[in-house]
Amino acid sequence: MSLATVTLQATQSDAFEAIQNDALLSSSLWANIALAGLSALLFVYMGRDVEDTRSKLIFAATLMIPLVSISSYLGLVSGLTTGFIEMPAGHALAGEEVMSQWGRYLTWALSTPMILLALGLLADVDTADLFTVIVADVGMCVTGLAAALVTSSVAVRWGFYVISCAFFVVVLYALVAEWPDDAADAGTDEIFGTLRLLTIVLWLGYPVIWALGVEGLAVVQSVGLTSWGYSALDIGAKYVFAFLLLRWVAANEDTVARRGAGTGAEGSPAPADD
Amino acid sequence: MSLATVTLQATQSDAFEAIQNDALLSSSLWANIALAGLSALLFVYMGRDVEDTRSKLIFAATLMIPLVSISSYLGLVSGLTTGFIEMPAGHALAGEEVMSQWGRYLTWALSTPMILLALGLLADVDTADLFTVIVADVGMCVTGLAAALVTSSVAVRWGFYVISCAFFVVVLYALVAEWPDDAADAGTDEIFGTLRLLTIVLWLGYPVIWALGVEGLAVVQSVGLTSWGYSALDIGAKYVFAFLLLRWVAANEDTVARRGAGTGAEGSPAPADD
Amino acid sequence: MSLATVTLQATQSDAFEAIQNDALLSSSLWANIALAGLSALLFVYMGRDVEDTRSKLIFAATLMIPLVSISSYLGLVSGLTTGFIEMPAGHALAGEEVMSQWGRYLTWALSTPMILLALGLLADVDTADLFTVIVADVGMCVTGLAAALVTSSVAVRWGFYVISCAFFVVVLYALVAEWPDDAADAGTDEIFGTLRLLTIVLWLGYPVIWALGVEGLAVVQSVGLTSWGYSALDIGAKYVFAFLLLRWVAANEDTVARRGAGTGAEGSPAPADD
């Protein structure tokens, strides 16, 4: 067996075992796999009687949130997207080996666009706006990944953190200042307001955990606790979010059906639309 | 030379040589490079007289299918996106070193969206719908990649396989239940029906090969045969698909030109459209 | 500490130190971080009085160009996305260890779509067209990455180079032959013409540097000079480009506001639009 195979597989198996031997850490991952699985089944059940095309589309898009989440946590738990990194000089844990759950950032790059897509469809924002916000969101996740993986300089770690937050500000700006007007025009401002608040409050938690947890200032030095912090936010920002959205869509098919001009959702606007 | 350079380059050169020394495996890759190159040239030739803007767009989009395919197979044949993994306990080949063509999953994440885009343009589906299906498709490919790369647990390998199939079901649902109506409205249902059938039948083959081949149950234990399985499906699902599509577009420019309201393809619907 | 951790971190720290000890190379990276940071601040300042929704959207999209650029150069300078590769037989530097700035290709896959998006919004091209061009652009960057990383065969390196150029031709075709008409219809042809020319001329420089620099024929054998070549092009193609665009948008809010039917930017075209 080649040297490369030995070393690359060693990381994966090491991480797999380290996670299995840490009940706190392990539970933070399996809890999400279980909840995401139950959410997916629940959402299929909730959507069984939905007739309207646009509502079915929102169901399909939202169903992917738990599917991506299961994939993300399976990757973490198997050690495929987990690794050990040695923190650079200047870090509170400098020279120590710290478990990095870098796969979280990678899969957020796929799951958070779905959340923004669901919000954007609900508020009926235009396609170019939605695309811009999604690119900013992907930029936020990718630079978060970079912040987690840099081991040569603590200054560069925080440099990436600041850039990631700058992308986040673009996303927040759209959610706070732009999309509410669109939602009001679309007549979906009540549910949009609830989901927007949930998203803003919970998403603000991620950079706080990064800053306080093992990857940042290491005020909290437990990998398991840091992991539960992210996992708890994921539960709210993903499954609770998706449940509230789909419950509303199922109960308001008519409102959803009546809209549909924006987001390029229908090429030919219905006459009643103007 | 650093240790990391030694190990990472060792894998690439090892894989490159192993492929060159296996005629069955090697031919499964080079056959596709040759066919993809010929297809690209043929498609440029077929499109030489196309005038209509929308038809030219479909030609440009479809031309990328063989271009992505050449890239994919060059990556495999050079060893860049091929590697050796040791299967986990519980796998039929447990403890053995198996060549993994993980690059296939990576490039499918780029090529299969182009196929769905071509089908979606043809059926004139709305942008949000198309985006959702493409995200599900990317989710399918990325979890397929994860399934191929996990070496710590055979259960997690199949876990990813199941999630990948769940994403596939979302794609199939759109192809089977939703897009045919759009295609009927667009007047393209005949060619759409042909291509849809081709796509559904061939795409169903990929998870079957995974399950039976070296990565899954290892009923077929030859890496070369497994690789030819994927390569044969690629030939049908990519080059034959693209050829049928472009032949129809070239012969039906008027029909293609008349559509164009959906998919955000034109902002201002033509008067004749309503 | 595991062997994998040692080797993977070794590359990052090696590259970090090698860059710090090479003033020419180092300055080519830090100059861009500084300029990108100043550009981002300048663009926020320039956009402070913009009122129109569509103009604000263009500002938000364009602001991401320097943000992605800072991320890219931070990745290079930290050694995270830099590495050492040994060139294959047949290469001018065969057997030598060459520093590869592979992260450039990765981040171009995120930054160049934003440039095309900005041009596309300006010219009011349709969504499907824009999407196709962006996919070709991503294909160009990804195959460029592959060309940089292949160490098993010099022929495959150039094979990827040719494919990458083929994707580039699709992008060029849209910029040269298709989008100018859209821009003329949108009344933005003057600024579009300037930016298009800037983009075409500068973008043509990248494959030339690749071919002449250390990764290609190695006519220029200095990693620092090659890096400055890319960095200089980036300055023109990113910050100068973005500055010219935003200066025009800030001065022509009315023109920007009047458009907005294409690119799915508004579902219901304004009556004045037809």
**C85, pLDDT greater than 90:** no
φ/ψ of C221, rounded to 5, equals -100, 5
Q: How many residues does chain A have?
A: 274
> Which spans in chain B are helix H?
3-20, 23-46, 53-77, 103-123, 127-149, 154-173, 179-186, 189-212, 223-234, 241-251, 253-258
Return the higher-pLDDT residue of A46 and A84.
A46
The minimal CB distance from C2 to the residues A11, A159, A178 is found for: A11
From the number of C-beta atoms within 10 Å of its C-beta (0-12, 13-18, 19+), residue B48 rates as: exposed
Q: Which of A80, A117, A127 sits opposite B150 (nearest CB)?
A: A80
The yes-or-no verdict on residue C110 having pLDDT over 60 is yes
In this predicted structure, the answer to whether residue A263 has a pLDDT above a threshold of 50 is no
* B80, HSE (Cβ side, Cα atoms, 13 Å): 25
Q: Between chains, do B53 and C152 touch, taking CB under 8 Å as contact?
A: no
Q: Mean of the per-residue pLDDT values for chain B?
A: 86
Contacts of A89 (CB under 8 A, 6+ apart): A95, A154
Averaged pLDDT for residues A80-85: 87
What are C181-215's pLDDT values in tens digits?
A: 989 988 888 899 999 999 999 999 999 999 999 88
At C9, is the pLDDT very low, low, confident or very high (cuts 50, 70, 90)?
A: low
The distance of B4 to chain C (nearest Cα, Å) reads: 5
Q: Average of pLDDT values for A190-210? A: 94
Residue C111's pLDDT is 86
- The answer on pLDDT for C132 being more than 90 is no
Cα distance between residue C181 and residue C179, in whole Å: 5
Say what the pLDDT of residue C180 is: 92
pLDDT reported for residue A179: 92
Closest in A85, A129, A149 to C57, CB measured:
A129
Q: Which residue in the set B138, B178, B261 is minimally distant from A267, CB to CB?
A: B261
> Which pLDDT score is estimated for C201?
96
Closest CB to A60: pick one of B10, B132, B163.
B132
Say yes or no for a CB contact (<8 Å) between B12 and C152.
yes
For A245: left if phi > 0, alpha if psi spans -120 to 50, otherwise beta; the answer is: alpha
Which of the four pLDDT bands, split at 50, 70 and 90, describes residue B124? confident
Q: What is the model's pLDDT at position C1?
A: 39
pLDDT at C15 over 70: yes
Answer whether residue A266 shows pLDDT above 50.
no
pLDDT at A2 over 60: no
Q: Which of A2-6, B77-81, B247-251, C211-215 has the lowest mean pLDDT?
A: A2-6
- Residues B214 and B221 sit within 8 Å (Cβ to Cβ): yes
The pLDDT of A95-109, averaged and rounded, is 88
Nearest CA distance, C205 vs chain A (angstrom): 26
Spatial separation of the C-alpha atoms in residues B123 and A213, rounded to whole Å? 49
Q: Which band of pLDDT confidence, cut at 50, 70 and 90, is reported for residue C10?
A: low
- Residue C118's pLDDT is 85
> Nearest residue of B to residue C166 by CA position?
B67
What are the tokens at A52?
């309207």
By CA distance, what is C271's nearest residue in B?
B268
Q: What band does B10 get if pLDDT is binned at 50, 70 and 90?
A: low
The per-residue pLDDT of chain C, averaged, comes to: 86
Q: Is the pLDDT of residue C176 over 50?
A: yes
pLDDT of residue C45: 93
C254 sits in which H/E element: helix C253-258
Q: Do A64 and B167 touch (CB under 8 A)?
A: yes
Closest CA of chain C from B236, distance in Å: 22
Would you say B162 and B103 are in contact if contact means Cβ atoms under 8 Å apart? no
- Which residues in chain B have Cβ-Cβ distances shorter than 8 Å to A269? 269
Confidence (pLDDT) at B1: 39
Nearest-5° angle of CA B53, CA C137, CA B49?
30
Mean pLDDT of all residues in C140-163: 92
C135: chain B residues, CB-CB within 8 Å: 61, 64, 110, 113-114, 117
pLDDT tens string A66-77: 999 999 999 999
Task: Give the closest of B83, B174, B263 to A267, CB-based.
Answer: B263
Spatial distance between the Cα atoms of B20 and C112, rounded to a whole number of angstroms:
36
- Which chains does A contact via 3+ CB–CB distances below 8 A? B, C
Looking at residue A274, its pLDDT comes to: 34
Q: Which domains does chain C have, with CATH numbers?
A: 3-258 (1.20.1070.10)
Nearest chain B CA: its distance from C89 CA (Å): 12
Confidence of residue B9 (pLDDT cuts 50, 70, 90): low
Tell me, what amino acid is at C78? S
pLDDT in tens, B21-59: 999 999 999 999 999 999 999 999 998 888 887 788 888
Residue C129 has pLDDT above 50, yes or no: yes
In the A/B pair of chains, how many CB contacts fall below 8 A? 127
**In a mutagenesis test of the B interface, which of A29, A53, A57, A82 is the best target, namely the one with the most B β-carbons within 10 Å?**
A57
Average pLDDT score, chain A: 86
Write down the pLDDT at residue A271. Answer: 37
Nearest CA in chain C to A273: C268
User: Which of the residues C2, C85, C96, C152 would you substitute to probe the B interface, choosing the one with the greatest number of B C-beta atoms within 10 Å?
Assistant: C152
The DSSP string of B98-121 is EEE-THHHHHHHHHHHHHHHHHHH
Residue A105: per-residue pLDDT:
92
Run of H or E residues at A98: strand A97-100
| The pLDDT of residue A241 is above 50 | yes
Give the chain C residue whose CA is nearest to the CA of A267.
C267
Does C98 score more than 80 pLDDT? yes
Q: Which residues of B touch A80 (CB under 8 A)?
A: 146, 149-150, 152, 156
Q: Which residues on chain C are in Cβ contact (under 8 Å) with A149?
A: 80
Q: Hey, are the CB atoms on B5 and C132 less than 8 Å from each other?
A: no
Interface predicted TM-score (ipTM): 0.80
Question: Is C53 in Cβ contact with A97 (below 8 Å)?
Answer: no
pLDDT higher than threshold 60 for residue A28 = yes
Q: Which residue does chain B place closest to A121, by CA atoms?
A: B128
